[in-house]
Amino acid sequence: MALARWQPFEWIVAARFLREGRMQSLFIIVGVSIGVAVIVFMSALLAGLQGNLVRRVLTAQPHIQLLPPKEQVRVLHAEGRERFATTTQAPLQRLKSIDQWQSLLLQLRAMPDIKVVSPTVSGSTLIQRGDTSRSLSLVGVELEHYDRIVSLSDKIVEGRARLGATDILIGIELAHDLGLAVGDKLRVSAASGAANTFEIAGVLDLGNKGANQRTGFVALHSAQSLLGYSGGVTSIDLTVHDVYAAEVVAQRIGAMAPVQADSWIKTNAQFFSAVQSQSTANTAIRFFVGLSVAFGIASVLVVSVVQRSKEIGILRAMGISRGQVMRVFLLQGGLLGLGGALIGCLVGSAALQLWLGYAKTPDGSPMFTITFDPSLYLTALVLATLTGLLAALAPALRAARLDPVVAIRG
């Protein structure tokens, strides 16, 4: 009784109604908990899957790549002439450096959306070992910056990530094909006839057989000298803080400087569309689960209003206002939603732990990482409670509009 004196009237009546219809309350709490568990499980699972897929795609490429603008043909004709050429031939796209790339680099590093900026020189070369020759896509980078975009240090299988003036990092397939190992010498020739000899500092596994067969990394100034880009760069690689805002940032850079800005969203359009489809499907699942939960709570409370019509009439005759009657049923809906959400979050977390225990790769490692984000649980609790309140609104209005005399007479 001491506890009852400290509780508001609406809470006391709402708790009593829930206790009296304990079987109905139990069933609806179980229904809400199952719905919330499905939402938590699916949301965390799809977020982990999407994060893993995006991470795998972006570990081998920058978020944004800046290239020199493509050359465009211009149609020239004399004024006053009625006839002129209506067909044109696309110009040959020459390999060239980005104009004033040093000043552009400073502007990019000052932008708050951009995380890392790395200048790059790339071109096709030829390597020979005995009677065997291979084409090599040579990439010149500043390792301290590029390693934060594409982590070459994590891809080393032999040797170490080091790029001095005469060092080169090559793919594991290329090393196996030519019988090369760390410390061996490798002569690289450019199309212009320039050549240089490099020492293999490390062997990489880039996660792609084709890339492992034809890719090599050297220091930026070494590539500039060999490929004929004295003091120039062929591209600038960027990473941004928000990977899903990469296209917006790329468009802003394209408007700011005379460069072609390609984001990973643009270059991987089909993959990004698949990721967006997963997000849409997850939202649809959550909506329909929430809708079923809302109808379940509403149906239980409608039955409760019908069963307790006389009690409501007596309370109204004793002077209880319509607002208080409404709050009684709104509280019931909110408590049912909150109670079911608390149990559902626990069930969803347990299901995720169980799934992680069984979903393993052939080597025994987890298929991908799932982060138990506190904001997901907080959102589930808030949304379930609000759903309960909204579902209780119609029954609460019906209860508040009951005429006390008619309700008591039955």
Provide the residue-wise pLDDT of the chain in tens; the chain has 410 residues: 344 444 577 788 778 877 877 787 788 888 888 888 888 888 888 887 777 777 777 777 888 999 888 765 555 555 555 555 555 555 544 567 888 888 999 999 999 999 999 999 998 899 887 777 888 999 999 999 999 988 888 889 998 888 988 999 999 999 998 888 898 888 888 888 888 889 999 999 888 888 888 899 999 999 999 988 888 899 999 999 988 888 999 999 988 888 888 988 888 778 778 777 877 887 888 788 878 878 877 777 777 776 667 777 777 777 777 788 788 888 888 888 888 889 988 998 888 888 877 776 666 666 667 777 788 888 888 888 888 888 888 777 877 777 766 666 65
In angstroms, how far apart are the furthest CA atoms of the chain?
Answer: 106
3-state SS assignment for residue 402: coil
pLDDT score, position 1:
38
CB 219 within 8 A of CB 120: no
CB 259 within 8 A of CB 104: yes
Ramachandran area for residue 20 (φ above 0: left; ψ -120 to 50: alpha; else beta): alpha
pLDDT score, position 82:
54
Structure tokens given for 16: 């009593």
Domain boundaries, the chain: 2-57+272-409, 101-258
pLDDT score, position 309:
72
pLDDT score, position 389:
83
Which run of H or E residues covers position 379?
helix 374-391
The neighbouring-strand residues paired with 195 are 189
pLDDT score, position 218:
93
Strands 132-141 and 167-171: unpaired
pLDDT score, position 84:
52
CA 269, CA 276: separation in Å to the nearest integer? 10
Q: What DSSP character marks residue 35? A: H
CB 188 within 8 A of CB 226: yes
CB 138 within 8 A of CB 216: yes
pLDDT score, position 3:
43
Which run of H or E residues covers position 157?
strand 156-159
CA 13, CA 170: separation in Å to the nearest integer? 75
pLDDT score, position 89:
56
pLDDT score, position 5:
43
The neighbouring-strand residues paired with 189 are 126, 195
Question: Packing angle between helix 22-58 and helix 322-358, nearest 10 degrees?
Answer: 50
Taking the C-alpha atoms of 46, 49, 50 and 56 in order, what is their torsion angle to the nearest 10 degrees? 180
CA 64, CA 108: separation in Å to the nearest integer? 12
Sequence-separated (6 or more) residues with CB below 8 Å from residue 1: none
| Nearest residue to 41 (alpha-carbon basis) of 304, 410, 356 | 356
Q: Which amino acid is at 380?
A: A
Between the two ends of the chain, the Cα-to-Cα distance in Å is 31
CA 298, CA 302: separation in Å to the nearest integer? 6
